[in-house]
Structure 1
Amino acid sequence: MILTTLNRLSRRQRQTFLFIVDLLVVPVALWCSLAAQGQSRAPVSDLISGFQGTLGAAVVAAVISLALGIPRIRLKSFDITALTRTAIFAACVAISLAVLGPLFGYSYSTGFYAIFGMSFFLLSSALRLTMLQIVMVAYRKASTRSRVLIYGAGSTGIQLASALRHDPLVEPVGFIDDNPALQGLSVAGLPVVAPTRAARMVERKGITLACLAMPSLSQPRLSQIARRLSDLGLDVQALPSFAQLIGAEALADKLAPVRPDSFVGRETFDCAPDLGCDVYRGRAVLISGAGGSIGSELCRQILACRPTRLVLFELSELALYSIERELNDLIEPGAATEIIPVLGSVTDERLVGDTLDRHDIDVVLHAAAYKHVPLVEANPIPGISNNVFGTATLARAARHHRCERFVLVSSDKAVRPTSVMGATKRLAEMIVQDLAARPGQTIFAMVRFGNVLGSSGSVIPLFQDQIARGGPLTVTHEDVTRYFMTVREAARLVLLSGSFARGGEVFVLDMGTPVPIKDLARQVIESSGYTVRDADNPQGDIEIAITGLRPGEKLHEELLMGEGHITTSNEKIFAALEDHPSEIEVAGALRALRNAVEMGDETAARASIARWVEGYGTEDMSEVSKTN
């Protein structure tokens, strides 16, 4: 009934109602003032008979009320600020009556007007607060209020609780705070409990909503608290800091992605953009795995060399669509390069042959591979099929079609591998080395490098995702190290190596000292603006957790099979001098592996790898045991 009536009133009608209420308070306050001085009987009769005096006081109050905007104060917003304005209103009315009283036919002592001012203030405020409570009760009965638990009993939490008390849909019922000095106390009329007692309070009071009122905490810490509250079945929301609301805090700096080249631990490799372009300019180039991290960067850099055709060979439809659209946007006006997308697998012998023949390919850059160690370890048959037989199919087709060059993108995991993925890359190298040793027009070469920062599945994006979730950052071993390079460096190395190749070389980039992964994790945390939580800093933001080496994973990677290597015209690139199996041995290894793949026999496949690949089957645990 009350809500229905209120909802029918316009804003102006509500303000008029409050204005009339204030005017009606004037005679009541006058009577209270007289009664307080023991003059209530006779003077009241004087006031009744002297309507002019009471009306004059009401007119003064009306003018001052409008001037101060008292009727425009909403009931829902009646707080300490509104009380202050009401006090000013009462004081102004009392002073005005003291000055103008003789004109209205009455004159009293100064004490009378002081009492009148206080009476007027108390009556006006009490009426408004009473009306506010009536309206709030009506709203509460008409709707179901969500019960909210506030995390943080500081100034922000107290202000939030005060604001929510007048909300018709939300009811604050308590605080959670990590500060032991506040636990067990009542703050802003609400109990404060420790985080360990949150579940009990949620169940006892039927709480459905939690609000984080600690804007000064770091985002990872807030994420951790939010996860714990979510596990209690609460809908969790957070208040932003005032600095964020007004834009004073440089959020862009924290949200901006960290540049991968800041973590390589050495000066990054760079050279003139057109260096090595001679072997690609005016030629038809095919890039397998063109939609991948390395393949797509190869496409961008090759495009700058102005080939006549750039064939994008890719198994993923989405990746192929994305890179084709990007390259078409990058082509300079007037450039004659034709972008040709080919959807398919490098294991498809017919498709590979038709593509090389139809587009008259001169240079093949083979970047297509399954590269994630744990995934290939769990799925060895697809890994062997793609990485080994895909390489064999594409390399043999390049030789058959008399392509000028074939460059294999390999990995440091191919050196004495302990994983199936590393072993497949070593077998791919053996295939290319075997073809390079045979007479023919095609120049075969390989490029071997370490982990590529910023590529799909690499450690930096993983760490950044873990930071966004509040941690911890997972590292497999205290002492694990890796060589790192950027995607740009990897692509430059492939292109330059292709131009340097004379046949059978394994090109390696001088990548300095391997980087400890634990140190890298610490760098990523600190570069994101947070601190590491450990025994020395228990109040830090993000923890680093040691999870143990995964199947097939090595403690340290290597770049060379032996000690010998020769320099190239670029001091940062050298060519390794490595022995390789004979043609008969390579054919025997492929035959055994093909039989295992066709039978789907993982045990036989692993046994064949162990027979033909040096290092496979000997776990890299000697280093681990020394550190335990």
Structure 2
Amino acid sequence: MKGMDTIYQTKLYQKYRNAIIMLLDLVIVFSSYVFTFFMDNNFFLDGRLLHITHLIIYGMIFVLVLHLGVGMLFSTPKTLWTYTGPQDVIRIGLSSLVCMVIMLIFTQTMHLFHPSLIIISEILAYIIQLAIRLLYREFHQYMMNVDRSEKALVIGAGNGGYMMVNEIYRGTQYPYNVVGYLDDYKPKGTLVGGKKVLGTIDEVDRIAKENGVTRLFIAISRIDEQNKQRIIELCANTSCITKIMRFSLENEHEGIHVDEIQIEDLLNRHTVDLKTEEIGAYLNDQVVCVTGAGGSIGSELCRQIIRFAPKRLIMIDINENTLYMLKQEFMRKARAGEISQNVELVSLIISIREREEMFKFMRDYKPDVVYHAAAHKHVPLMEDRPMEAIRNNVFGTKNVIDACIAYDVKRFIMISTDKAVNPTNVMGATKRMTELVMQSRNVKDSPIKMAAVRFGNVLGSSGSVIPIFKEQIRQGGPVTVTDYNIQRYFMTIPEAAQLVLQAGYYANQSEIFVLDMGKPVKILELAEKMIHLAGYKPYEEIEIKEVGLRPGEKMFEELALEIEKCHRTDNRLIFVHEPIQITQEEMDRKLDELYETISKTDDTALIKAKLLTLIKDDPQTMSKRGQ
């Protein structure tokens, strides 16, 4: 098989393939006519001599030229023999039929061949051409299947399952031998594309073990979320590596691709009901700025924003590599026509900690909308260096807010976190402090509308638990969890970004919006499911090890308690806190105290204690601490 692949990859074959196929077809046609002519003359066994006249030569030339022209008309040389199917049978049949009709007209005019000779020759040529293609397809299939030692099951025996089986056997990308299907609605023993339905999906574990299956392919084109969740859970609880077939629409042609089961599939996140007309109302043809644009949330915000055709998208970050790569991504998409080329893209290396630079930026670029996603976010690192968290998260954010107010930005939306609720760590406390800064600003004479948006962990963000677990599983374990009972809220990055955009529309008087994160997830169960999905047995093949809570880490985040104190917006997934009453003078006094503390000491315990003390007087925090 490797030798054949080598031939296919040669420039000679790639350049002259169609000509070679056409030449072979002409040889078949010529041989068919010669054979029929000899058969009609009893192969000259009766002693007669073969006389080749000029008329016969001209007739054969006409036959070959005719087949060449009709073959090119029906594109028979361009079809790939590996995938010979019903359409090719029809195409070759029509080509032969056209040639037959023309030849019958020709022979009646020239009185050259008997009509029966024409009909037999064309039928014979058609059969041989088709037989060679089908034999090649079977030989190619056999050669590919020689090395298919791993066995697979396809979940779903409908159109999706049939397409999946064809995809598996059409090449070497999926070198598996499909033993059959599992389907809840087709009787056991039903044949689909030559493969049997072996049972229902609930029997996946038993049937996989009985047949030595190591791979599962979920291939159901239409399914509701509840059933999808059930099937994924059943597959995840086997010892098989599970993949899922997804449908995509690329270059205006529907196609399929096969992915690993993502943890997002298991968590069954909400579908975001975006009110695009509301978002477009404040983004379309506006100058939009995103700080922290190179980060997980910031970059996804940019991807979502650009769909609403702003006049200019300004991406700010201190990390030049991520910022450069994001702009390159947008430039590629613009060239491919995936996004509008009319959006002006601006990338700027600016630190939000540089107050003068932030004011210069606002003065020179005059953004209409600012999304503030720049922040230090890793809890353990911020525990070690609380002064850095304060300088960046608190005073950096204050710089951005003050600059927005000074230069009449219309809308400011800040990314916050569930860790700002009753914070016990530095990162959460700095985020709560920034919420207070935002709510304390005197904006009565300013057109600005401000808001903060709180949500929990996002799946797949840099440094989050999902990529860490994946890398630990790849290395053979152990997978480490801080505590076997710890729980966290999760949301996908696109979902979080979309809800931030939606919440931005509701921004008015420095509200705090809280996103509905669904049900909290036990990190231990998350680790177990990820190990199952990778094809291993937790605790047997991959160890799960408890390492203890990190400094400042909570067992449970309190986002659900916050939602109880909120009221729902028009979007079922977005809740809102009423603004608290805190004066700008009072808040500035707190900030002065905090700045004085980090200026005089590097004592991390003292700095953290001061930070937590300063937010203790916050009415929301006080009410929780009193419970």
**8 Å contact from structure 2 (residues 316, 348) kept in 1:** yes
Q: CA–CA distance in 2 between the matches of 1:258 and 1:590?
A: 47
Matched, 1:287 2:290: yes
The residue number in structure 2 matching 1:610 is: 612
**8 Å contact from structure 1 (residues 423, 609) kept in 2:** yes
Task: Specify the code of the residue in structure 2 equivalent to 1:544.
Answer: I
Task: Specify the code of the residue in structure 2 equivalent to 1:475.
Answer: V
The residue number in structure 1 matching 2:327 is: 324
Q: Which has the larger radius of gyration?
A: 1
Q: CA–CA distance in 2 between the matches of 1:580 and 1:557?
A: 25
**8 Å contact from structure 1 (residues 306, 335) kept in 2:** no
- CA deviations 1:561-615 (Å, max 9, x no partner) are 5842122121121112363543233112210111122334334422321211239
Post-superposition offset of 1:251: 10
Over 3 Å counting, the alpha-carbon distance change for 1:336 and 1:286 in structure 2 is: same
- CA deviations 1:140-171 (Å, max 9, x no partner) are xxxxxxxxxxxxxxxxxxxxxxxxxxxxxxxx
Report 1:404-415 matches (<5 A).
404-415=410-421
Q: CA–CA distance in 2 between the matches of 1:590 and 1:500?
A: 28
**8 Å contact from structure 2 (residues 418, 455) kept in 1:** yes
Q: CA–CA distance in 2 between the matches of 1:263 and 1:439?
A: 49
Q: CA–CA distance in 1 between the matches of 2:306 and 2:272?
A: 20
Task: Specify the code of the residue in structure 1 equivalent to 2:414.
Answer: L
After TM superposition, the score normalised by the length of structure 2 is: 0.55
**8 Å contact from structure 1 (residues 436, 503) kept in 2:** no
**8 Å contact from structure 1 (residues 436, 445) kept in 2:** no
The residue number in structure 1 matching 2:12 is: none
> Secondary structure, in 3 states, of the residue corresponding to 1:320?
helix
Over 3 Å counting, the alpha-carbon distance change for 1:611 and 1:438 in structure 2 is: farther
Over 3 Å counting, the alpha-carbon distance change for 1:545 and 1:479 in structure 2 is: same
Can you give the 5+ residue segments of structure 1 that lack an aligned partner in the other structure? 1-215, 219-248, 534-539, 617-628
Post-superposition offset of 1:261: 2.0
Matched, 1:431 2:427: no
Q: CA–CA distance in 1 between the matches of 2:517 and 2:581?
A: 24
Task: Specify the code of the residue in structure 2 equivalent to 1:558.
Answer: E
Q: CA–CA distance in 2 between the matches of 1:488 and 1:451?
A: 13
Over 3 Å counting, the alpha-carbon distance change for 1:513 and 1:279 in structure 2 is: same
Q: Which residue of the other structure, out of 299, 302, 305, is the alignment partner of 2:302?
A: 299
Over 3 Å counting, the alpha-carbon distance change for 1:380 and 1:438 in structure 2 is: farther
> Secondary structure, in 3 states, of the residue corresponding to 1:389?
helix
The residue number in structure 2 matching 1:379 is: 385
Task: Specify the code of the residue in structure 1 equivalent to 2:616.
Answer: E
**8 Å contact from structure 2 (residues 367, 409) kept in 1:** yes
Task: Specify the code of the residue in structure 2 equivalent to 1:452.
Answer: V
The residue number in structure 2 matching 1:519 is: 525
Post-superposition offset of 1:527: 1.8
Q: Which residue of the other structure, out of 366, 383, 386, is the alignment partner of 1:360?
A: 366
Post-superposition offset of 1:360: 1.6
- CA deviations 1:175-228 (Å, max 9, x no partner) are xxxxxxxxxxxxxxxxxxxxxxxxxxxxxxxxxxxxxxxxx999xxxxxxxxxx
- CA deviations 1:351-404 (Å, max 9, x no partner) are 111211211210000000000000111111111100000100000100000100
Q: CA–CA distance in 2 between the matches of 1:489 and 1:286?
A: 20
**8 Å contact from structure 2 (residues 263, 530) kept in 1:** no
**8 Å contact from structure 2 (residues 273, 571) kept in 1:** no
Task: Specify the code of the residue in structure 2 equivalent to 1:570.
Answer: N
**8 Å contact from structure 2 (residues 382, 427) kept in 1:** yes
The residue number in structure 2 matching 1:308 is: 311
Q: CA–CA distance in 2 between the matches of 1:271 and 1:493?
A: 8
Post-superposition offset of 1:260: 4.1
- Identity, in percent, stands at 39
Post-superposition offset of 1:433: 1.1
Task: Specify the code of the residue in structure 2 equivalent to 1:610.
Answer: L
The residue number in structure 2 matching 1:491 is: 497
After TM superposition, the score normalised by the length of structure 1 is: 0.55
Query: Pairwise CA RMSD of aligned residues?
Result: 2.7
Can you give the 5+ residue segments of structure 2 that lack an aligned partner in the other structure? 1-211, 215-239, 246-257, 619-627
Task: Specify the code of the residue in structure 1 equivalent to 2:609.
Answer: A
Post-superposition offset of 1:410: 0.3
The residue number in structure 2 matching 1:570 is: 571
The residue number in structure 2 matching 1:599 is: 600
Task: Specify the code of the residue in structure 2 equivalent to 1:574.
Answer: F
The residue number in structure 2 matching 1:503 is: 509
Post-superposition offset of 1:438: 4.8
Task: Specify the code of the residue in structure 2 equivalent to 1:526.
Answer: H
Q: CA–CA distance in 2 between the matches of 1:479 and 1:486?
A: 22
The residue number in structure 2 matching 1:340 is: 346
Over 3 Å counting, the alpha-carbon distance change for 1:555 and 1:615 in structure 2 is: farther
